[in-house]
Structure 1
Amino acid sequence: MKIYLGTGGYSNEDWIGLLYPPGTKKTDFLSVYSQHFNATELNSSFYAIPGLKAFEGMAKRVESRTRFAVKLHQVFTHTRNYTDDDVARMLQSPEPLREAGLMGPYLAQFPYSFHRTAENRRYLWELAQRLEGHEVAVELRHGSWDKPEVREGFRETGLIWVSPDYPPLGGMPEPQLHASGHVAYLRLHGRNRETWWEGSSAAERHDYRYTEAELAYWADQIAALDPGEVEEVWVLFNNTTQGHALANIETLRPLLEARGLDPARPGQGDRLL
C-alpha cells in the first residue's frame, strides 16, 4: 500500500521555527512543506476555488513530491446550492495537478447538521453523479451515516469513505478505519472535547496532540487493511495548531514502520521536532 502522510493545509504561520525556517516567505511555505510530506489537503478551495494559474504554481512548487486532496467548495457541502458553473470550475481548475500526476481525491466535508435523511441521501447521490469519473472522499460527521449499508453504498457508487477521529463526545462516527474501495482515507482532528463545540475558532477546536498510544491504535488499523484491496492510504492530520500535526506525524512514522509499512518521505527533509 502507498501511504500518503500530511496535514490539512500548509499555510500556518505558527509553524515558522518548527517546519519553516525563520524568515521564510509565505509564498515559499509549500516548497518547504513538500520536502517533508507527500500529501496535503487544500483548504483554500473550500472558500474560493483557485484558478488554473494558482494550481500551476502549486504543481511547480512541490516538484512532483506532494499530492493534493482538494476540498470541495462550501456550495457543495454546506449551502448546497451549487450551479453548473461551480461544477465546471471545481473540476477544471485543478487540471495542472492532474497533468503533473499530483491530483488526489476531492474531499467533501459535510457538517454535523447533515443528517442521514431521505433528502440528504438523494443529494449525496446526485452530487456523486455530477462528479462521476473523479475520486471523491466524503466525510460525514453525523453518526447516523456510520453504518455498514452506507459504506456498501459508497462502494457501489465509487465514493471514498472518510474515517475520522473526533473527540469522544457521542453522536459522531466511531473511530474505526473503513475502506469502501481501493483508497482508505483517515482524517485526525484531535480529541479536544472541551473546545470541539465551544471553541471560538478552528485553532482552538484542533488544539490537541495525540499520544503515542492513541496513534498506535491507528497504526494497527492501517496495518490490518488488506493490501490486495486497498492500494492507497491517506492519513491527514488536522490538529495543526501549535505544530501538533507535525509532531504527531513524526510519532506515527516509526509506528507504521514497526508494522512493516513504508511511510516514505518525499525528499530528504530533516526529521522534525
Structure 2
Amino acid sequence: MQIWLGCGGYTNDDWAAEGLLYEGVRKDAYLETYAAAFNAAELNSSFYAIPGLKAFEGMARRVGGTRPFRMTVKLNRVFTHDRAPQSSDFDRMLQSPEPLREAGMMGPYLAQFPYSFHRTAANRRYLAALTERFVGHELAVEMRHASWDKPEVRAGMTEYGLIWVSPDYPPVGGLPEPQLHVTADVGYLRLHGRNQGSWWEGSSAAERHDYRYTRAEMDEWADKIALVSSDLSELYIFFQNTTKGHALHNAPQLREALAARGLSAAPALSVRDTGRLL
C-alpha cells in the first residue's frame, strides 16, 4: 500500500513561526519547502475559486519531479455547498488540473459536503448526478452528517466507484464515527482534530482545528490503517489540524507509528537538515 501523507493546504502562515517549517522561507517558496517534508497536499484554495491552468502549471513546476508527489483537489463550493453548478463550472473543474495529470501528480478530487447535507432522497439524487459528471476521475466524498454513516451507503459508493472519506472528528455527536472504511482500491483519511469545545462554537476553521493529537491517538490510527492495508493500493492521509503547527508535530508521530507496523509513509527528507520541525 502506497501512503500519501500531507496536510489540508500548504499556505499556512502559522508555520512561519520560529522553529516551524516556514521560518525564514519566502511565501513563493512555501510549496517546494512543503514538498520536501510531505509527499501529498490537499488543495483547499479550489473550494473558494477554481485555479486556472497556469496556476496548476506553477504548482507542478514548483514541486518538481525529484520524488513522487500527489495533490488532491477540493471541489469548488458551487458543487458541494451551493449545489448549483453550471456546465462551465464542471468544464473548469475538470480541465484546469490537467498540468497535474501530465506531471503524474493528480490525486482524487475531494467533495467535502457540509453538515447540513443530510441523507435525503433529493440529496441522494444530487450525489448520483454529481458522480455521473466525474466518471473517469477518482472522487472522494466526505459526509459530515451521521445519517450517511451506514454500511448501505458505503456499499452504494463501492458500486459507483466513489471513495468514502474516513474522518476523525471530535466526539460531539451527529458526526460519522472515526473508523477507516474501504469502498474502493484507494482510501482517504482526514484528521480534523478532537477540539470538542470549538467544533460547533468556533468562529473559524483555524479555531475548530486547534488540536494536537497525542501519541496514543496516533498509535490508534496506525492500528486502524494496518488492519486495512491489504485491502488498499493507496491511502491518502491529510492532517487538517494545521493551526499553530499541530500537524507538524503529529505527522512524524504517525510516520513512526506506521513504521513500527511495517508501513512506510515517505519520511521527510532535506527539511530534517535545517533544524526546523519535521
Letter in 1 for 2:141: V
Give the one of 224, 231, 243 matched to 2:227: 224
Give the one of 55, 72, 75 matched to 1:72: 75
CA deviation map 1:206-253 (0-9, x unaligned): 0000001111111001000142x3100111000000000111001111
Question: 1:126 is matched with which residue?
Answer: 129
Give the one of 255, 258, 271 matched to 1:256: 258
Give the CA deviation at 1:63.
Answer: 1.1
Give the CA deviation at 1:268.
Answer: 3.3
Question: 1:8 is matched with which residue?
Answer: 8
CA deviation map 1:175-216 (0-9, x unaligned): 000010111110000100100010111111100000011111
Which stretch shifts more, 249-258 or 218-227?
A: 218-227
Question: 2:103 is matched with which residue?
Answer: 100
Question: 1:186 is matched with which residue?
Answer: 189
Q: What runs of 5+ residues in structure 1 fail to find an aligned partner?
A: none
- Secondary structure, in 3 states, of the residue corresponding to 2:251? helix
**Identity, % of aligned pairs?**
65
* 8 A Cα contact 2:80 2:111, kept in partner: yes
CA deviation map 1:37-71 (0-9, x unaligned): 00010000000000000000000111134210100
TM-score, length of structure 1 as denominator length: 0.97
Give the CA deviation at 1:269.
Answer: 2.9
* 8 A Cα contact 1:250 1:272, kept in partner: no
Question: 2:236 is matched with which residue?
Answer: 234
Give the one of 129, 141, 144 matched to 1:141: 144
Question: 2:23 is matched with which residue?
Answer: 21
Question: 2:50 is matched with which residue?
Answer: 49
* 8 A Cα contact 1:167 1:191, kept in partner: yes
Structure-2 change in CA distance of 1:253 and 1:91 (3 Å): same
- Secondary structure, in 3 states, of the residue corresponding to 2:228? coil
TM-score, length of structure 2 as denominator length: 0.95
| Greater helix share, structure number | 2
Letter in 1 for 2:266: A
CA RMSD of aligned residues (A): 1.1
Give the distance between the partners of 1:220 and 1:5, measured in 2 at CA.
16
* 8 A Cα contact 2:4 2:235, kept in partner: yes
Give the distance between the partners of 1:266 and 1:237, measured in 2 at CA.
15
Find out whether 1:112 has 2:109 as its counterpart.
no
Question: 1:38 is matched with which residue?
Answer: 39
Question: 1:272 is matched with which residue?
Answer: 277
Give the distance between the partners of 2:40 and 2:191, measured in 1 at CA.
14
Give the CA deviation at 1:272.
Answer: 2.5
- Secondary structure, in 3 states, of the residue corresponding to 2:71? strand
Give the distance between the partners of 2:270 and 2:216, measured in 1 at CA.
27
Give the CA deviation at 1:8.
Answer: 0.1
Give the CA deviation at 1:258.
Answer: 0.3
- Secondary structure, in 3 states, of the residue corresponding to 1:218? helix
Give the distance between the partners of 2:198 and 2:269, measured in 1 at CA.
36
Give the distance between the partners of 2:270 and 2:247, measured in 1 at CA.
19
Give the distance between the partners of 2:21 and 2:143, measured in 1 at CA.
31
Give the distance between the partners of 2:22 and 2:45, measured in 1 at CA.
20
* 8 A Cα contact 2:166 2:188, kept in partner: yes
